[in-house]
Structures are given as structure tokens and as C-alpha cells.
Amino acid sequence: MKKYILASFALVSVLASAQETPFKFKELVNNAALPIISQGKTGTCWSFSTTSFLESEVKRLTGKDVDLSEMYNVRYTYPVKAYNYVYRQGKAQFSEGGLSHDVLNSVRKNGLVPNSEYTGFTAGTDEKHNHEMLVKDLKVGLDSIVKNPKKFLTKDWKTNFDQKLNKKLGVPPTKFKFEGKEYTPEEFAKALKINPDNYVTLTSFEQAPYYSQFILQVPDNFSNGSYYNLPLDEYMKVLDEALYSGFTAAFDTDVSEKTFSKKYGMAIWPSEGLEKDYFTEILPEKWVTADERQAGFENYSTEDDHLMHITGILKDQLGNQYYDVKNSWGTNDLGNNGHIYMSKPFFRMKSIAFTVHKDALSKEVKKQLGIK
């Protein structure tokens, strides 16, 4: 279990990468988060990252360590995707992907449950998440409806869809006991002080006015989630101030670059022309401008690939700073025990957006964005 440590109380012990690299890291901020787990063969990083984020929020708000169910949110989000796909006549996205606001939307309607009450595994299955066949099966059924709605769009199609989910993931609980007390999922979320309306998602792109709210145009935004748009430097400043104040953040990012490495547990953005084995020496990095960031988004070199959870800040022996990112790919044979140490230049260039509690924002930023 991690506890947050402000910069003035930074750990003096030096952290070395799990792989052989020249990097030596010192923690500046280390906020509370539960241990890394694996999303397995699923595209549900959006739920693993945001559920991890909510676990840190529970710790911050109540002082309790509570292992929340990732698959509970997944189970209730699949039908929302299905309805959207069918009602839009198959012209929308139906896949495993999603975003942080999809978890918050699920919590708003369906509450939360402990992982012990809903694992996403059913009797006779091994305890490794694998949704490959599930998604194919669901998509085949939905495409049958779209292609021949008069034949297949019956009153019970939603029930049939739910039954497929229940068979694979299990029936969601309506009541359960936790630490000797009975809860509904809605009561449990309230007891943990998780109010979805207290969370905001911030981004920085040029296709919308700064300090406005807009629907970000990325494929996984099937639910038309709204984002607050900030200038790039302010976007970075809000995140840093949040982390130093004991908050964490769920975020969406591109991970397609060679400079993102699960082997080394690092992500960097070297200056142009430095084509080499990126992690064998500390390279100078490019400080990205808003125009460069926008160009990456518009030429599709920056896409909404993966969501993770930012819990802290580190620096290397040269003073370069990195975000401590909790990933959901497990820990076996991965650098930094499954964490990604992501340089600030990489984040400036490749991140899509991040979600935080609105109390992490300064009064000035709240006023500029119209957040109460």
C-alpha cells in the first residue's frame, strides 16, 4: 500500500528500474493506491484504471482500503454500448473500449460493490479475465439486429443481451454484506463517499475554445462524455498541483510509440533525431508545444489507446520529472514492477485527458471553467 508523500518529505531512498538502465529515481509524491492487478485479455483498461482511481479516492476520503469490483462497472456498461450501437443502426462503435466517465456513469446509476462480491468470474472458469469470445458473441447478436431489425428487434432483445453477460460475468448483486453491514450497491457508493458528480475530466486541444466544455472526438467516447478544455501549460499545472495535494488521476493516453516500454516500465519523448536504444542512456527530451500536440491528434499518431492511473511524481538523477503511473498489465517480467514512469514531455504530447476530483482544482481554475 502506498501513502502519499509531499515533495518536502520525499523518500530519500533511490529507486532503480527493474531492467538494467542508467535511470535512478527518487520519489517526490507517492499517493495511496492498491496493488497492481491485471486486466487479462480484455480491453477494459478504462474500468481497471478508473476503479483504481476510485479506490484511491475512497482511501483519501474515508481512510479505508477497499478493493472495488472492476467487472461490475464493465457488466453495466456493455448494455449502454449495445443500446447506442443498435439505436444508431450499427454506425456507432461497439467494442471493449471505454473511458473514465463511463465508470462514473455506471456508479451514478448502479453504485459500487467490493471485488469479493463480483469478480467477473463464474463457476468453472479460471480466474484470468478473457473477453475475446464474449465480445465477438455480443457483436454478432447486435449485428443480426441491425441487419434485420424487423426479425430480431423483439421486446426481449435487451433481456437476451443481459443473459449473455450474466452467463459470462455473473449476475450482479443487489444486496451484500461488507464488514458486517448490509448494503445495496448504491448505499455502498454513498458510504464510501463516492459522488460521481464531484469528478471532472480535463483536456487540452485546439479544436474547441479554451475554458469551454466540449465532447471530445475520440472513438471510445460512445457516451458523448464532456471535457473541460485548458491551455496546455495549465492542464499540466492542474495535474501537478492535484498530485502534490494528495489527489490522484485517471488518464487516457496513446501508448503506440517505441518510447513507451512496458519492458523498462518507462515512457519518454526524446528530442528529434535521437534514434537509438532509448532506455540505455538518459536522453534530452523535447518540450512539446500546443501546436505539436494538436498535430499529433489530427494526424492520428496520438489516439485514445489506453487508460491508467497516475499516483505520484518522481525525478531522475538529472532532475527530470516523471509521473508514477499504475498500469493494469500485471507485474510479471515488467519494468518498475508494472508501473510506468512517464516523463512530463511524453505526457504533454501523448496524453488525451485526465479525470480528478473537482476539489483538486484551484478556485481560479474552477471559476474559469464554471465549476462550482
Assign residue 38 the CATH number of its domain: 3.90.70.10
Write out pLDDT tens, residues 99-112.
999 999 999 999 99
Q: Is residue 21 part of a domain?
A: yes
Tell me, what's the pLDDT at 337? 94
Write out pLDDT tens, residues 293-302.
999 999 999 9
Tell me, what's the pLDDT at 141? 92
Q: Is residue 260 part of a domain?
A: yes
Report how many domains make up the chain: 1
Tell me, what's the pLDDT at 12? 35
Q: Is residue 2 part of a domain?
A: no
Q: Is residue 333 part of a domain?
A: yes
pLDDT at 28 over 90: yes
Q: Is residue 1 part of a domain?
A: no
HEC assignment per residue over the chain = CCCCCCHHHCCCCEEECCCCCCCEEEEEEECCCCCCCECCECCCHHHHHHHHHHHHHHHHHHCCCCCECHHHHHHHHHHHHHHHHHHCCCCCCCCCCCCHHHHHHHHHHHCCCEHHHCCCCCCCCCCCCECHHHHHHHHHHHHHHHHCHHHHCCCCHHHHHHHHHHHHHCCCCCCEEECCEEECHHHHHHHCCCCHHHEEEEECCCCCCCCCEEECCCCCCCCCCEEEECCHHHHHHHHHHHHHCCCCEEEEECCCCCCEECCCCEECCECCCCCCCCCCCCCCECCCCHHHHHHHHHCCCCCCCEEEEEEEEEECCCCCEEEEEECCECCCCCHHHHEEEEEHHHHHHHEEEEEEEHHHCCHHHHHHHCCC
30, 31, 45, 309: which is the annotated catalytic residue? 45
Tell me, what's the pLDDT at 19? 54
Q: What is the mean pLDDT of residues 123-144?
A: 86
221, 327, 336, 357: which is the annotated catalytic residue? 327
Q: Is residue 276 part of a domain?
A: yes
Tell me, what's the pLDDT at 21? 80
Q: Is 131 a catalytic residue?
A: no
Write out pLDDT tens, residues 197-239.
999 999 999 999 999 999 999 999 999 999 999 999 999 999 9
Handedness of CA 179, 185, 188, 192 (dihedral sign): positive
Q: Is residue 18 part of a domain?
A: yes
Question: Which pLDDT band holds residue 7 (cuts at 50, 70, 90)?
Answer: very low
**Owning domain of residue 339:** 7-369
Contact call for residues 360 and 242 (beta carbons, < 8 A): yes
pLDDT at 273 over 90: no
Q: Is 327 a catalytic residue?
A: yes
Distance between CA atoms of residues 371 and 359, nearest Å:
10
Q: Is 320 a catalytic residue?
A: no
Question: Which pLDDT band holds residue 128 (cuts at 50, 70, 90)?
Answer: confident
Tell me, what's the pLDDT at 333? 86
Tell me, what's the pLDDT at 17? 43
101, 306, 339, 357: which is the annotated catalytic residue? 306
Tell me, what's the pLDDT at 126? 66
